């Protein structure tokens, strides 16, 4: 019984805290830098970052000051999901993200940003099919550039929810209950 308690403690700690990012991601800033900004000290710098979608298309995100929007699609809420295919909590959250994408179709755009080097699209497509993923999954070196642009992602899963205006609503580190994300999405829609 003592060993079972120790094992359960270890497993629950891993699930709750998420996975560290094994990939080299030359960042110096913690996750919160992406979320704490001072509009008085920042310049009006606009950065476009093109992400390669595994389905063959590309999407462009526009970062301006403390906002992030999809180019040519300003009326949707964005949920950025930084993940890796080897990360158990990342895999555990997939069914919740699938449900949320179905529920808020037309209002929410979930974009999963793969943080793995040299992963072929064909392997990611198999992962998408196996997990019945119905949202965008991006792959490539620009994923790491986006991570750096947002202050550096140190732990995964890591999600950031943006409202229709591109402002940060909240962020999540580790696996989060679907109901909590759903509640935040409802607030962002209003």
Instruction: Flag whether 20 is in a domain.
Output: no
Q: Sorting pLDDT into bands at 50, 70 and 90, what band is 88? A: very high
The parent domain of residue 121 ranges over 38-189
State mean pLDDT over 26-34.
Answer: 41
Instruction: Flag whether 55 is in a domain.
Output: yes
Instruction: State how far the Cα of 187 lies from the Cα of 190, in Å rounded to an integer.
Output: 6
Instruction: Flag whether 184 is in a domain.
Output: yes
Instruction: Flag whether 119 is in a domain.
Output: yes
pTM to 2 decimals? 0.77
CATH number of the domain to which 104 belongs: 3.40.30.10
**Domains of the chain: total:** 1
Residue 118 has pLDDT above 50, yes or no: yes
Instruction: Flag whether 9 is in a domain.
Output: no
Q: In this predicted model, what pLDDT tens digit does every residue of 37-74 receive, in sequence order?
A: 443 444 567 788 999 999 999 999 888 888 887 887 66
Candidates 176, 143, 179, 172; CA nearest to 158 is 172
Instruction: Flag whether 59 is in a domain.
Output: yes
- Contacts of residue 41, Cβ cutoff 8 Å, sequence gap at least 6: none
β-strand 108-114 against 77-83: which pairing, if any? parallel
Instruction: Flag whether 157 is in a domain.
Output: yes
Give the model's pLDDT for residue 64: 86
Residue 5 has pLDDT above 90, yes or no: no
Instruction: Flag whether 79 is in a domain.
Output: yes
Instruction: State how far the Cα of 56 lies from the Cα of 183, in Å rounded to an integer.
Output: 32
Instruction: State how far the Cα of 147 lies from the Cα of 138, in Å rounded to an integer.
Output: 12
């Amino acid at each position: 019984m003592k060993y079972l308690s120790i094992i359960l403690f270890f497993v629950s700690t891993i699930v709750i805290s998420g996975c560290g990012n094994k990939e080299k991601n030359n960042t110096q800033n913690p996750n919160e830098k992406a979320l704490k900004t001072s509009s008085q000290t920042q310049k009006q710098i606009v950065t476009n970052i093109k992400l390669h979608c595994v389905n063959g298309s590309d999407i462009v995100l526009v970062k301006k000051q403390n906002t992030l929007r999809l180019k040519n699609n300003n009326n949707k809420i964005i949920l950025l999901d930084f993940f890796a295919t080897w990360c158990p909590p990342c895999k555990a959250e997939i069914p919740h993200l699938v449900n949320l994408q179905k529920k808020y179709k037309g209002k929410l755009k979930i974009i999963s940003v793969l943080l793995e080097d040299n992963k072929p699209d064909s392997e990611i497509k198999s992962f998408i099919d196996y997990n019945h993923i119905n949202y965008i999954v991006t792959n490539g070196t620009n994923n790491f550039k986006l991570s750096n642009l947002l202050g550096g992602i140190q732990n995964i899963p890591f999600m950031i929810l943006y409202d229709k205006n591109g402002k940060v609503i909240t962020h999540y580190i580790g696996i989060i209950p679907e109901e909590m994300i759903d509640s935040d999405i409802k607030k962002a829609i209003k």
